[in-house]
């Protein structure tokens, strides 16, 4: 018990520098869609960037979901007797 305690008390030196993480965070900031809130874009906090990243990933997931639903509807409603339906069907049915 005491040995575990002393191990946890040792200073936790991160092998990766803060600068590297800050560089990655700035790259993330460039990827996520710019909105009005990031007007003072020089000093955007890391937590804000992370939050926007999570929101963006969630919105991308939602888009994939919506597109799958749309495609499912489209494929269901294609007429059985048509050249176009044959094209689509030959593609993936």
Chain positions contacting another protein, by CB under 8 A: 4-5, 7-9, 16, 20-21, 24-25, 27-28, 31-32, 45-47, 50-51, 53-54, 56-58, 60-61, 63-65, 67-79, 82-85, 87-88, 91-93
In whole angstroms, give the CA distance from residue 46 to residue 44. Answer: 7
In whole angstroms, give the CA distance from residue 20 to residue 81. Answer: 59
Nearer Cβ to another protein (39/74): 74
Phi-psi region of 33 (alpha: psi -120 to 50; beta: other; left: phi over 0): beta
Nearer Cβ to another protein (14/39): 14
Q: How far is CA 29 from CA 75, 78, 83, 89, in A?
A: 38, 42, 47, 42
Nearer Cβ to another protein (39/45): 45
We find the least distance from the C-beta atom of residue 4 to another protein, in angstroms, to be 7
Nearer Cβ to another protein (39/92): 92
């Amino acid at each position: 018990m005491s040995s575990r305690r002393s191990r946890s008390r040792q200073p936790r030196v991160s092998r990766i520098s803060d600068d590297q993480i800050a560089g990655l965070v700035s790259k993330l900031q460039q990827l996520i869609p710019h909105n009005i809130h990031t007007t003072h874009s020089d000093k955007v906090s890391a937590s804000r960037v992370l939050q926007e990243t999570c929101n963006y990933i969630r919105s991308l997931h939602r888009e994939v979901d919506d597109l799958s639903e749309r495609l499912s509807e489209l494929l269901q409603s294609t007429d059985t007797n048509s050249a176009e339906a044959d094209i689509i069907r030959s593609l993936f049915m």
